[in-house]
Amino acid sequence: MQNIKLDKAYGQHILVSKGVLEKIVSELEIEENDTVVEVGGGTGNLTKELLKTPLKKLTVLEIDPKMIKLLEEIEDERLEVLKEDASKFDYCSAGESIKVTGNLPYNVGSLILERIVECHRCINLAVLMLQKEVSEKIVMDKSPHWLAIYVNTFFDTEYVMSVPARFFVPRPKVDGGVIKLRKKENIEEINLKKYKKFLLRIFSERRKKLKKKISEEILLKAGIDPNLRVENLSLEDFIRLYNVLEGER
């Protein structure tokens, strides 16, 4: 690796395991006509691996000017490097049907995931490295979290693998976890702002019974026992309850 100073504030932990880089790329199922967006190109480890595939176009988002300079040294006509904040980027500006990947900066990993949900319309598949704890939360192995419901409403999620901290330079405090998001086929039209607000509300004070947050009448109408708590609800329950609530407005 080049002699470059890595910046903690930008969550710069370079993934140095060739095997893991290859696995991320293979999980993206890249075909000839694909447009791929990579989040946080850094020194270009994953970028170079992606460029070995027959993809049509690779757009790399990076926030740090010194990393952008490095990325721009990679010679490939298919590569475009943009100085963008990946938590605010309009992913649909890259293409109508794209794939997203990246070894995400952990400090803004959840914000980037939220942005990916907001842009789900044009994202078919995403393979992302996040901190293991967040990745596990998203695939809903543990008690649900609002962001997991938010993501799983639009994408089928799968845990690909854990990646030990020693595979990164400098070594982060926590292990990583790779997840794969595949857009669902029949997605409901949902107002994302309202849906997020609804989820945050229902997940607040999670030990309280649902009837303390939403009227019993609405809960019964959605076929949900008002004495349950948020952790008892299934993904379908959340969507049904949201639709009943919206229908009542």
Question: How many residues are recorded in the chain?
Answer: 249
Other C-beta atoms closer than 10 Å to the C-beta of 57 total 16
User: For ligand SAH, which residue of 28, 35, 42, 99 counts as binding (CB under 6 A)?
Assistant: 42
- Site string (69-108) toward ligand SAH, x via CB under 6 A: ----------------xxx---------------x-x--x
The contacts of residue 114 (CB under 8 Å, 6+ apart) are 87, 147, 150, 196
Q: Does 63 bind ligand SAH (CB under 6 A)?
A: yes
The contacts of residue 97 (CB under 8 Å, 6+ apart) are 35, 122, 124
Q: Does 165 bind ligand SAH (CB under 6 A)?
A: no
Q: Does 12 bind ligand SAH (CB under 6 A)?
A: yes
215 vs 193: CA distance, rounded Å:
21
Q: Nearest CA to 148 among 159, 160, 137?
A: 137
Instruction: Work out how close the CB of 91 gets to ligand SAH at its nearest, in angstroms, rounded to a whole number.
Output: 12
Please, which residues bridge with residue 52 across strands?
Answer: none
Give the residue with the Cβ less far from ligand SAH, 25 or 86.
86
Q: Does 237 bind ligand SAH (CB under 6 A)?
A: no
Q: Does 15 bind ligand SAH (CB under 6 A)?
A: yes
Site residues for ligand SAH, 172-231, by CB under 6 A, read: none
DSSP letter for each residue of 76-115: -TTEEEEE--TTT--GGGT-SSEEEEEE--GGGHHHHHHH
Q: Does 51 bind ligand SAH (CB under 6 A)?
A: no
Q: Nearest CA to 22 among 163, 222, 157?
A: 163
Q: What is the dihedral of CA 192, 194, 198, 199, to 10 degrees?
A: 20
Give the residue with the Cβ less far from ligand SAH, 103 or 131.
103
Interface region with ligand SAH, contact rule CB under 6 A, candidates 61-69, 139-147, 189-197, 229-237: 61-69
The owner of tokens 């990916």 is 116
The owner of tokens 């690796």 is 1
In the bound state, the residue with its beta carbon closest to ligand SAH is: 40
Instruction: Work out how close the CB of 174 gets to ligand SAH at its nearest, in angstroms, rounded to a whole number.
Output: 14
Instruction: Work out how close the CB of 44 gets to ligand SAH at its nearest, in angstroms, rounded to a whole number.
Output: 7
Q: Does 119 bind ligand SAH (CB under 6 A)?
A: no
Under the rule (CB under 6 A), what is the footprint of ligand SAH? 10-15, 39-43, 45-46, 61-64, 67, 85-87, 103, 105, 108
